[in-house]
A = this chain, B = another copy of it.
Amino acid sequence: MSNPYPFMQEALQQAHKSYREGGIPIGSVVVHGDQIIGAGHNQRVQKSSPILHGEMDALENAGRRSAAVYRACTLYTTLSPCSMCSGTILLYGIPRVIIGENRTFLGEEEWLRSRGVEVIVLDNSECYELMQRFIRERPELWNEDIGE
């Protein structure tokens, strides 16, 4: 059977790349039609950035886009989006978000749904296991990333 969400593998590759770099293993891609227009991963360690979560990095790498483009995009992220990333999804009117897993961290999925965003959670075990391994190894870094 073919994978109905092939772009999640691309987001996961971004997460693995960040892990190999010593960073937080959360990745994201922004897809317009059948093309990735932005890919990224958490950059807290790599760029000392408090705002470049995976989703934010993917959107930053997609560059300046018109409202019409965002409104035809799907955002893929390996982990449930926090309030910052959810607010960004709403700012740009991105209508659809595909989430790798939300067992490690449950973000603002209900807020997104209440504002009309389609939210699909895959409960992908590879996304989950990568985060669990990272949190065992670097709990302080994970807490910093979620403001705790």
Q: Is A106 an interface residue (CB 8 A)?
A: no
A66 touching B146, Cβ below 8 Å = no
Q: Is A86 an interface residue (CB 8 A)?
A: yes
Partner of A87, one of B49, B66, B84: B84
Is A59 an interface position by the 8 A CB rule? Answer: yes
Residues on the B chain within 8 Å of A86, using CB: 83, 87
Flag whether A98 is at the interface (Cβ < 8 A). no
Which listed segment binds B: A14-22, A88-96, A131-139? A88-96
A12: B residues at CB distance < 8 A: none
B144–A66 touching, CB < 8 Å:
yes
Interface flags, A29-71, vs B, CB<8A=1, else 0:
0000000000000001000111100001001101111110010
